[in-house]
Amino acid sequence: MGTPTQTIETPPPASQPTADKRAARGATRPGDRIFLALSRGSGILLLVIMAAIAVFLTYRASLAISKDQGNFLTTFQWDTNLVPPDFGIAVLAFGTVVSSIVAMVIAVPVAVAIALFLTHYAPRRMRGPIAYVIDLLAAVPSIVYGLWGALVLVPHMNGLFGWLNDYLGWTGIFSWQGGAPRSMLTVGILLAIMILPIITNVSREVFRQVPQMHEEAALALGATRWEVIRMAVIPFGRSGVISASMLGLGRALGETMAVATVLSPTFDIQASLLDPGGGTFAQNIASKFGEATEFGRDALIASGLVLFVITLLVNGAARAIIARRKEYSGANA
Amino acid sequence: MKLQRMNRRALALGALAVSGALALTACGSDDTGGNSDGGSSNAAAPSNVKCDDAKGQLLADGSSAQKNAIDAWVKQFTAACQGVQINYKGGGSGAGVTAFTQGQVAFAGSDSALKPEEVTASKKVCSGGQGIDLPMVGGPIAVGYNVDGVDNLVLDAPTLAKIFNNQITNWNDKQIQKLNPDAKLPDLKIQAFHRSDDSGTTDNFTKYLMATAKSDWPYDGGKTWQAKGGQSASGSSGVAQQVKQTNGAIGYFELSYAKDGLKTVDLDTGAAQPVKATVENATKAISEAKVVGTGKDLALELNYGTKAEGAYPMVLVTYEIVCDKGNKADTLPGTKAFLRYIASEDGQKILAENDYAPIPADIISQVRTTIEGLS
């Protein structure tokens, strides 16, 4: 950047000392300074935005919670139009956590399998196209997932639900009373599909970073391909996969429209994953917002605050895991 | 995590998909928002719409239940009055009333009349006046069901209340059989669907149950569904969709959603014949309503217990909410002209074509008088 200016400026003696100064201070040419200011500004801006969100949520939430006649944490109801209003997040917290866990249980093994297949088994020519298709899953808007779920997935779940009820009904978790299959399990399956791309992508990156030497050493000792994966690839990639899963979990926790379309929300907790009912924070906000009064919105914001806290905890956990296994993690390579 | 390493082509493909989707959505909203130029309905623009000096843009928001009616009206009205643009967002009654009390819209649509505190809030916006309710659209709430082999199901209020409160759980229940002596009711679990979102439809449906079957419906009512159990879906379209999809299902929604072969329940109101959910029968029931609003406010109290022949009492009335005095000067002519049109005979006639019920003559004539007095 400095060079063109020097050639244009006419008196050479005047430009000489400034050039020396610049060199003395190291990399502080205008471009660097602008970039430093920009990036520092962005960092500060991010903190300010987060703080503003937190302050706004806390303030509006406190307005609502102070008038709640029920217990905000344990009430199984959401009626902000009652006088006095009666609402609580028990069902929403339960539903959010359960649907996300179901999604993780389904998505993580599949995503890891896809990532391993792409990095170690698939013919080189297939890797690209399969990766593109998985990336495209992330580009589908969630309302489209919702519509697909309601129109295609739900009507086809009866068979699976009947089978689960017949063979695993005794566990209680998989008992089914024959309601429309718009339950936490269906939501979990849908969420699993939605979080698949991010977990797959990050896991694939991690598995690609496994040092070639490790794998070659294992092969030299006579390991089969599966043994290489088990002994070299998976231990190396474990923390990366965990953090990828946390990213996916964060997405599943906050998913809104797809859940609102597919779930049959009611304000009670079902022991069975197959019986319709339950709800999630984001779904509840989406479905109650349109008709909510000023106070109703404050109450929804209060529930949003709880989701905010849960998501922060998840992100914090992910960062902690990455930090603890820094040396080994391919995620930081 | 070296995400930046991710293939550029993948990103490009993703971006293409996203922008493609955006482009498609944009087209979609254009189609619904704009008028189909050269359409047959435009050619026959009503000649007796009085535009006066109405022009500019009217913003409105509110009840989604009357969105289709407003759309039909706007199409006719703007064809006659080229200078006016009306933008009605069907964001829900709550959103509409909030937007109104904050002075963001010229008028709002709502499934329920203004509450006292909302009237107080409206005084800030209507200088020297207050918000008033003008009943403009009626609509029967149909109870749709999906039971193979049962075609003319008759139910009364107590049975409906028990079905939606999980006290009757099978289709071959004696109480249903008693009302339908000729029907072959299957041994099938009843799946009752209600709205998962807060809704004026729920409010009016439960008001009907509270008024006519108090002992079987022990809840307070309101826009939030209060009974435990049952299943739910979002929006009238969602409930109708679920009823269509699920064998043994029953659910309530506005009549206009009872399409594609969805069967609806006939109500046994105590009249000699069970009453079908039709727009004529709804209008007949609304004509028994009393005006309970004070001053210029025309909030109605419906007579849910009517036993009049052919009166379908499970109805919903949506109001347009405006200021009686102190409307904004730049939107007043447009608002007045539009309201005058929708309350006119032509305007009300369009309702029946869209599965809504016109407001009965003596009430709508009061509405017309009130509109002329808006200032």
Nearest CB to B231; choose among A131, A141, A264? A264
Domains of chain A: 96-293 (1.10.3720.10)
Q: Provide Rg for chain A, Cα atoms.
A: 26
Mean pLDDT within B337-357: 91
A137: nearest Cα among B14, B167, B222: B14
Q: What is the per-residue pLDDT across A57-82, written as a single tens digit (0 to 9) for each?
A: 999 999 999 988 888 888 888 888 88
CB contact under 8 A, B198 and A292: yes
| Best CA proximity match to B300, nearest among B290, B308, B310 | B290
CA distance B259 to chain A (A): 17
Confidence (pLDDT) at A17: 52
On the question of pLDDT at B118 being above 70, the answer is yes
pLDDT in tens, A137-151: 889 999 999 999 988
pLDDT in the model for residue B39:
37
Here the ipTM equals: 0.73
Q: Are residues A264 and B64, on separate chains, in Cβ contact within 8 Å?
A: no
* pLDDT band of B142, cuts 50, 70, 90: very high
| Per-residue pLDDT, B339 | 93
**C-alpha angle with apex B130: B126 to B67, nearest 5 degrees?**
90
- Region B145-162: mean pLDDT is 93
The pLDDT value recorded for residue A320 is 83
Structure confidence at residue A280 (pLDDT): 93
A200 or A29: which carries more pLDDT confidence? A200
Q: Do B246 and A180 touch (CB under 8 A)?
A: yes
- pLDDT tens-digit map of B199-258: 888 999 999 999 999 999 999 888 889 888 889 988 888 899 889 988 899 999 999 888
- In the predicted model, what is the mean pLDDT of residues B265-273? 91
- What is the per-residue pLDDT for B127? 86
What pLDDT score does B12 carry? 54
Pick from A278, A262, A48: nearest CA to A146:
A262
B-facing residues of A in 226-285 (CB < 8 A) are 240, 243, 260-261, 263-268, 276-277
Q: Given this model, what pLDDT does residue B18 score?
A: 52
Residues 56-115 of A with CB under 8 A from B: 78-82
Asked if residue A190 has pLDDT above 90, the reply is: yes
The length of chain A is: 333
| Cα–Cα distance for residue pair A228/A218, rounded to 1 Å | 6
pLDDT beyond 50 at B40: no
Chain segment A287-313, per-residue pLDDT in tens = 888 778 888 889 999 999 999 999 888
Residue B35 neighbours by CB distance under 10 Å: 13
Instruction: Specify whether the CB–CB gap between A273 and A188 falls below 8 A.
Output: yes
Alpha carbon B355 to its chain's center: 11
Nearest in space to B219 (alpha carbons), one of A82, A284, A290, A264: A82
**Among B2, B223, B245, whose Cβ lies nearest the Cβ of A205?**
B2
Asked whether residue B34 carries a pLDDT value surpassing 80, the answer given is: no
pLDDT tens digit sequence for A243-273: 889 889 988 999 999 999 899 888 888 889 9
pLDDT tens digit string along A193-204?
A: 999 999 999 999
Chain B residues within 8 A of A268 when measuring between CB atoms: 228-229
Q: Is the pTM of the predicted complex or chain greater than 0.80?
A: no
Query: How many C-beta neighbours within 10 Å does residue B42 have?
Result: 15
> pLDDT grade, residue A5 (50/70/90)?
very low
pLDDT of residue A19: 52
At B144, is the pLDDT very low, low, confident or very high (cuts 50, 70, 90)?
very high
Q: Which residue has the tokens 């139009």?
A: A81
The lowest-confidence range among B36-45, B157-166, B178-187, B224-233 is B36-45
Averaged pLDDT score across all residues of chain A:
86
pLDDT at B294 over 70: yes
CB contact under 8 A, A265 and B196: yes
Q: What is the pLDDT of residue B24?
A: 47
A231-241 tens-digit pLDDT: 889 888 888 89
In chain B, the percentage of residues whose pLDDT exceeds 90 is 46
Tell me what the mean pLDDT of segment B339-347 comes to. Answer: 92
Instruction: Please compute, for residue B19, the number of CA atoms within 13 A of its CA located in the half-sphere on the CB side.
Output: 6
How sure is the predictor about B1, in pLDDT bands with cuts at 50, 70 and 90?
A: very low
Interface residue of B1, B166, B243, B316 to substitute, partner A, most A CBs within 10 Å: B1
pLDDT band at residue B106 using 50, 70 and 90 as cut-offs? very high
pLDDT at residue number A200: 94
User: In this predicted structure, what is the pLDDT of residue B3?
Assistant: 45
**Dist. CA B135–CA B319, nearest whole Å:** 4
- pLDDT at residue number B10: 54
Q: pLDDT value at position A327?
A: 58
